[in-house]
Structure 1
Amino acid sequence: MSNFVLVAGAWLGSWAWDEVVPTLREAGHGVHPLTLSGLADKQAVPAGRQTHVRDIVDEVEHLDLRDVVLVGHSYSGIPVGQAAELIGDRLARVVFIDANVPADGESFVSNWWAGPAKLEAAIAENGGFWAPLAEADCDGQGLTDEQIARFVGGSTPHPGASLADPAVLARPLGELPATYVKCLLDGAEPNEDVARLLASDQWRLVAMDTGHWPMFSQPDALARILLDAAGQ
């Protein structure tokens, strides 16, 4: 039996995995969807330096989980990648779903595709939080109108301090046993940093013909990928 710890990306909480969880549990695994500090039902909890990394490590240690498959989607690949190093032999595998990956000393903001200044300005203009996406921002990502409404309706502002938090890595990320899930509607090829990691014998690439939020658009297919990853 594996223990899946599921961490969704920016603006989202544990609720984002509601349609993925049943398939994993029916297969006999432990499933632990996690809300990070400052988001969803934990909006009142402050998030600062390394808070989201500690959220993940604390969940694993508090529940005394073994054979852990850490799953990080989008932004959450950064804290998940760091937490994977810290849980030691409890880790079975890391799964990055269309995710950012941590680089020592770098943050989500510092590697923002449109430039750090643009994201920093957007966060400053919104009182230190990154505002959630609107419905129009979800076009072309394989989501139905109902799925878009669920995503937008459940999203909460994301604490900017976590986005600017520099990653801390003790060893090369390529040494971790990892699966990278690339969602093709969000770009046909992985980013350069991910492509370099995929050169490692420890990393595997899986493609999904859907958009950036497969837990909404293709939850059953995503659950099967996670089950396959746990069996590697």
Structure 2
Amino acid sequence: MTNFVLVAGAWLGSWAWDEVVPELRAAGHDAHPLTLSGLAGKRDVPAGQQTHVQDIVDEIERRDLHDVVLAGHSYAGIPVGQAAERIGGRLTRVVFVDSSVPADGESFVSAWPDGRAEVEASIAAHGGFWPPLTAADYAGQDLSDAQIAWIVAGSTPHPGATLTEPAALSGAFGGLPATYLACLPDGAEPGEGVAALLVGEDWRLVTLDTGHWPMFSRPRELAQILIDAAGKGS
């Protein structure tokens, strides 16, 4: 049995995995969706990026999980990648779900050369938080109106410090067993940083023909990709 630890991206909580978790459990595995500090039910908890890394490590250690597949979506790839380094032999594989990946000394917004100033200005204008997307922002992402309404209703402002603080890696990150899931409407080719990592023998690339939020648009297919990444296809 694999323990899947699932971390959604900006503005989202553990609820984002509600349609993925039953698929994983039906296949005989366990799933642990996680809400990061400052979001959803933990929105009153102060958080920086290292808080999110520690949230993930603490969850795995508190539950004494082994045979862990650690999945991070979008922003969450940055703390998930750092946490994957820190859990040692508990890790089976890390899965980056159409996500950012950490680079030592770089932040989430570091990779946004054109949009960085806009994100930072938005954070400053909203009391230190990045405001959630509107329904219109989800157009063209393979989502129904009901799914968009669900996402918008559940989203909470994202703590800005998590986006601007730098990642801290030990240097072993590229050697982690990893799968990168690229969602096709966002471009079949991952960015330069991911492409460089995919050259290594420990990294694999898979694709899914859907938008950036596959836990909503294609939960069954996403669950199967996670199971396959664990090497335990159903």
TM-score (norm 1): 0.98
Q: Is the 8 A contact 1:94 1:179 kept in 2?
A: yes
Structure 1 residue 113, shift from structure 2 partner: 5.0
Number of equivalenced pairs: 232
Gaps of 5+ in 1: none
Classify 1:11/1:49 alpha carbon distance in 2 versus 1 (closer, same or farther; 3 Å).
closer
The residue that corresponds to 1:103 in the other structure is 103
Q: 1:156-195 alignment to 2 at 5 Å?
A: 156-195=156-195
The residue that corresponds to 1:137 in the other structure is 137
SS of equivalent to 1:146: helix
Counterpart residue type for residue 76 of structure 1? A
Counterpart residue type for residue 154 of structure 1? G
The root-mean-square deviation of aligned C-alpha atoms, in Å, is 1.0
Rounded Cα–Cα distance in structure 2 between residues aligned with 1:114 and 1:224: 35
Q: Is the 8 A contact 1:135 1:152 kept in 2?
A: yes
Deviating 4+ runs (over 3 angstroms): none
Structure 1 residue 49, shift from structure 2 partner: 4.7
Structure 1 residue 173, shift from structure 2 partner: 2.1
Structure 1 residue 165, shift from structure 2 partner: 1.6
Work out whether 1:21 is the aligned partner of 2:21. Answer: yes
The residue that corresponds to 2:209 in the other structure is 209
Work out whether 1:67 is the aligned partner of 2:67. Answer: yes
Rounded Cα–Cα distance in structure 1 between residues aligned with 2:43 and 2:195: 34
The residue that corresponds to 2:229 in the other structure is 229
Structure 1 residue 30, shift from structure 2 partner: 1.5
Gaps of 5+ in 2: none
Rounded Cα–Cα distance in structure 1 between residues aligned with 2:153 and 2:209: 25
Counterpart residue type for residue 182 of structure 1? A
Rounded Cα–Cα distance in structure 2 between residues aligned with 1:3 and 1:160: 30
SS of equivalent to 1:50: helix
Structure 1 residue 219, shift from structure 2 partner: 0.3
Q: Is the 8 A contact 2:85 2:172 kept in 1?
A: no
Q: Deviations over 1:27-85 (max 9, x none)?
A: 11121000000000110111025000000000000000001000000000000000000
Structure 1 residue 168, shift from structure 2 partner: 0.4
Classify 1:189/1:47 alpha carbon distance in 2 versus 1 (closer, same or farther; 3 Å).
same
